[in-house]
Amino acid sequence: MTFSASPLPLFQPALLRAKDAGLADAADLGKLPDWDLSDLYPAPDAPELTRDIDLLEKETASFAADYEGRLAKLTPAQMRDCIERYEHISVLAGRIMSYAGLRYYQNTVDGERAKMLGDLQEKITNFTTPLVFFSLEFNRITDATYDELFSAEDGPKRYRPVFDRMRAMRPYQLSDELEKFLHDNSVVGAAAWNRLFDETTAALTFDVDGEEMGLEATLNLLTDHDRARREIGAKALAKVFEKNVKLFARVHNTLAKEKAIEDKWRKMPSPQAARHLSNDVEPEVVEALRNAVTKAYPRLSHRYYRLKAKWLGLDKLQVWDRNAPLPTETPRTIDWAEAEATVLDAYAGFSPELAALAKPFFDKGWIDAGVKPGKAPGAFAHPAVVTVHPYVLLNYLGKPRDVMTLAHELGHGVHQRLAAGQGELLASTPLTLAETASVFGEMLTFRALLAKTTDPVQRKALLAGKVEDMINTVVRQIAFYDFECKLHAARAEGELTPEDINALWMSVQGESLGDAFEFMPGYETFWSYVPHFVHSPFYVYAYAFGDGLVNALYAAYEGGLPDFQSKYFDLLKAGGSKHHTELLAPFGLDASDPAFWDKGLSMIEGFIDELEAMEA
């Protein structure tokens, strides 16, 4: 267990989904909230920030001086004190880097913000290098001593899940010197390439009929009601991606090779193994999920997109039709006040406590909603540290999918607030369960809207939108996972040209989207803007995991499972303190059962059945 010098936020599916129609007039949306980062620090030159940086340097040095070489000799009570000090340092470092990182994501092209982030990354990496011993030495403690330490009543018993996961890395641990080298080198390794990618994508501009647009606004054109406008947007994206594809290929080649080198030294059995370990999920569970989804492609995405081609009056869909609104769907801009009311009402319909946990995000500057020059694209919820609160980033344009994104990110925020009671080390939820509250929040919002919709045309549009979101969350993310698997396997054989990566991308696109599509020249480069491939290799299957899990949970809720709400809150409050098998047991669910995933997929299939029935 080592500190990450990078304040990498939890990017969410909205970052990957195609966006809605072009920029709405901000005046139509009402006043959009900005972050108030003063709960972290009052200003970049605040004395409190300087104080904490100095304090972090002192505390990391004193921690190493007090404990290095002594861990195996500590009594249970001393080990508890040691871990509590380590946790305090984690909060201190996390607070500093959250502030620098969130300021940076507000404007990634601002030189001062980028410099502050880079300088602090370097400082904190240097400060925390003396702590690398902790996980290495801890993993050398014998099993007998470890069991004794973590079973004693006056010991660190409650922290055992954290350290059980850490000890799962024992077979892949390197020497102390190599681990320290990797820690120090991270600033000029993955973190630097991540920044290059972020700054490049944030600075991209696209010529759309003579109007200069950023990435976010241009992606939004792909769901414009005007098909010609969608086509212009898709071709503008392709033109710029092609122009920059060599740089993006260099980023992917370098990061994949860097990962392969580290995996080789650690003797990781596969490129995916580190992700599975960090997610605390068994490889066979992920494989069962992947196989269930790919097997379902024909009855989900292939079938739905053939329906959509019929609705649009087309023999074949183009990529700019994938997220097009239905011809009968009336364009509508939803202002911020209505979006807030919609989501909070849906949350309150499930539990007033859920709505109460979400309300401060709107009232206290915990959301940054507007589209602004240089702002990071997409959406995420950053947990910051448990002693403060999470922050949500959106790029809100007033479209129905933006409301669903708001519901999704607030789900993350509520989850993070509830898990904060576990403390910094136990609050972090493995990615496989980190999507639970977010996808559940979306489902609550969708079901609330569907229940109020009696007009058949509006109901069809709402159902179709939900099916597309679920396909984007399940089918598309598993296709992304397969692309990454192919990419890393191919990179192991040698350097990949942009054309090599393009071909890998198209191989999974055709398989997952089906025969309803033909693909325009240039679509082969659309892998280049997806941030998950850069920031978090193999992250994407967590979305499909979360969607399938939530569909199964929602079926239990609709089925009247006794005390569902209290069980659900217990799941969220657990954070990372329990394995997914323990968390799902009260609901009668088991993710290791292949039939579990079919239950989740059957909900999507049921929605498509309903849409087909409307055609009869």
Span 247-272, pLDDT tens digits: 999 999 999 999 999 999 999 999 99
Please state the separation of Cα 602 from the chain's center in Å.
24
User: H helices then E strands: how many in the chain?
Assistant: 27, 6
Q: Are 159 and 165 in contact (CB under 8 A)?
A: no
pLDDT tens digits, one per residue of 34-78: 999 999 999 999 999 999 999 999 999 999 999 999 999 999 999
Q: Using alpha carbons only, what angle is made at residue 496 by residues 492 and 502, rounded to the nearest 5 degrees?
A: 120
CATH assignment of 47-167, among 1.20.140.70, 1.20.120.450, 1.20.120.160, 1.10.287.3510: 1.20.140.70
Q: Are 397 and 23 in contact (CB under 8 A)?
A: yes
pLDDT tens digits, one per residue of 119-131: 999 999 899 989 9
Q: Write phi, then psi, for 412 (nearest 5 degrees).
A: -60, -45
Res. 424: pLDDT tops 80: yes
Q: Residue 524's pLDDT is what? A: 98
- Residue 31 is classified by DSSP as P
Q: Residue 616's pLDDT is what? A: 59
Res. 22: pLDDT tops 70: no
DSSP string for residues in 326-373: PTTPPP----HHHHHHHHHHHHHHH-HHHHHHHHHHHHTT-EE-S--T
- Residue 9 is classified by DSSP as -
Domain boundary assignment for the chain: 47-167, 336-456
- Residue 517 is classified by DSSP as B
More confidently predicted of 466 and 24: 466
Report how far residue 131's alpha carbon sits from residue 134's, in angstroms, rounded to the nearest whole number. 6
pLDDT tens digits, one per residue of 433-456: 888 999 999 999 999 888 888 888
- pTM, whole model, 2 decimals? 0.80
| 336-456 under CATH 1.10.260, yes or no | no
Strands 391-393 and 367-368: parallel
Buried b or exposed e, range 291-305, using 16+ CB within 10 angstroms: ebbbebbeebbbbbb
CA torsion, ordered 418, 421, 427, 432, to nearest 10 deg: -30
Q: Residue 27's pLDDT is what? A: 52
Q: Residue 401's pLDDT is what? A: 83
Res. 430: pLDDT tops 50: yes
Nearest C-alpha neighbor of 613 from the set 474, 463, 409: 463
pLDDT tens digits, one per residue of 82-120: 999 999 999 999 999 999 999 999 999 899 999 999 999
Q: Residue 260's pLDDT is what? A: 96
